[in-house]
Amino acid sequence: MAGRSVVVGVGHYLPERVVPNAEFEKTLDTSDEWIRTRSGIERRHFAAEDETTSDLATRAAEAALADAGLTGEDIDAIVLATSTADLTFPSAATMVQARLGMTKGFAFDVQAVCAGFVFALSNANALILSGQAKRVLVIGAETFSRIMDWTDRSTCVLFGDGAGALVLELQEGEGTPQDRGILATDLNSDGRYKDLLYVDGGVSTHTTGHLRMQGNQVFRHAVEKLAKTAEIALDRAGLGADDVDWIVPHQANIRIIQGTAKKMGLPMDRVVVTVQDHGNTSAASIPLALSVGKERGQIKPGDLIVTEAIGGGLAWGAVALRW
Ligand code: ACO
């Protein structure tokens, strides 16, 4: 017998405003055609002026709780992955905690940029397996539209806003790769690559700042590191790429997603792809894809899923889990 962190609910929220690629043609030297062919993105959602990351996160959390048939009172902890929290402090997670009517337990944010959800899932799993919580709400929520430089065509066309959430619950498994729940994780970071992807501001540098990225350099690291981290997580679970029903990758660029699937020897019909509709929503992209993948009827109970992501840090990792 072995304790497992099993997904018992999933949900997401996207802001109302949808911005097609053509919108950028009005203000930038770019085209719908360039954005589609270089990134796979067709449209993205942007939060309203008065809509914050904790607003999006709360809506996604409510959807996940409803899916699980639970309320905030049933949750012991919230782990929220974001790089765009409403305020410098308190954490967006504690704001969600209050909005869900939770008066016990604990909540905190995790910041690992686009890899944030993978880091949050791994931390939530550790909290459950170490006996510190029985039910954890794991959220990825971002408002990257707030940190875009709208004059930089190489970044501002790529990102979007949104949120997704999972409810994880401690259940007993057999201790085999056939168990439902999180089977293995792999986390990595390498701070030497800071200059490839960063925000040029922050509290101790006196400004909010804007996202800066050497896209083609990050691209190279992504293709090399993502298949490897996914294979490490699968290997730790006692499984291989052939066992995977769905790759649920971070949704940054369709060419990275295709390159990773190819390296793993898996066809694209085993990959959940949402990048065309959401753009890169950073830490929100994997839970959004899990929720949309379930809604579409792609992800079913018992399916073996591997998630993988890379982002600023660089930070990257993967989680192998059975739905
Ligand atoms: N419209 C038209 N032309 C453009 C645009 C645009 N929106 N953006 C850049 N270009 C131009 C460039 O100026 C360049 O022109 P030049 O050759 O005259 O200098 C040309 O297109 C090619 O630029 P590259 O950057 O080499 O293009 P590439 O094929 O690498 O695609 C992209 C760029 C889409 C950014 C890609 O590199 C990418 O997706 N990188 C990875 C992004 C990523 O995964 N980030 C990690 C997660 S994000 C996070 O953690 C916050």
Q: Is 114 a catalytic residue?
A: yes
**Region 292-304: what's the mean pLDDT?**
98
Our CA angle for 292, 246, 190, nearest 5°, is 95
**Region 112-127: what's the mean pLDDT?**
98
Tell whether the model's pLDDT for residue 225 goes beyond 90: yes
252 lines ligand 1 (CB under 6 A): yes
CB burial of 251-275 (b: ≥16 within 10 Å; e: otherwise) equals bbbbbbbbbbbebbebeeeebbbbb
Our CA angle for 88, 89, 93, nearest 5°, is 115
Residues 6 or more apart from 215 whose CB is under 8 A from it? 154, 155, 158
166 lines ligand 1 (CB under 6 A): no
**Region 294-320: what's the mean pLDDT?**
98
Secondary structure of 10-38 as H, E, C letters? EEEECCCEEEECHHHHCCCCCCHHHHHHH
What pLDDT, on the 0 to 100 scale, is given for residue 309? 98
289: CA distance to ligand 1 center in Å?
23
155 lines ligand 1 (CB under 6 A): no
pLDDT tens digits, residue range 42-92? 999 999 999 999 999 999 999 999 999 999 999 999 999 999 999 999 999
What pLDDT, on the 0 to 100 scale, is given for residue 1? 78
What pLDDT, on the 0 to 100 scale, is given for residue 206? 86
Our CA angle for 201, 206, 211, nearest 5°, is 15
Which DSSP category does 195 fall into? G
Per-residue tokens: 278: 């959401």
311 lines ligand 1 (CB under 6 A): yes
Domains of the chain, start order: 2-173 (3.40.47.10), 181-322 (3.40.47.10)
On the CB side of 306, how many CA atoms lie within 13 Å of its CA?
33
Active-site position among 210, 250, 253, 278:
250
DSSP-derived 3-state class of residue 264: coil
pLDDT tens digits, residue range 156-170? 999 999 999 999 999
Active-site position among 12, 45, 114, 156:
114
What pLDDT, on the 0 to 100 scale, is given for residue 172? 96
Residues 6 or more apart from 315 whose CB is under 8 A from it? 112, 113, 114, 115, 119, 187, 188, 189
What pLDDT, on the 0 to 100 scale, is given for residue 232? 98
215: CA distance to ligand 1 center in Å?
5
Beta bridge partner(s), residue 202: 207
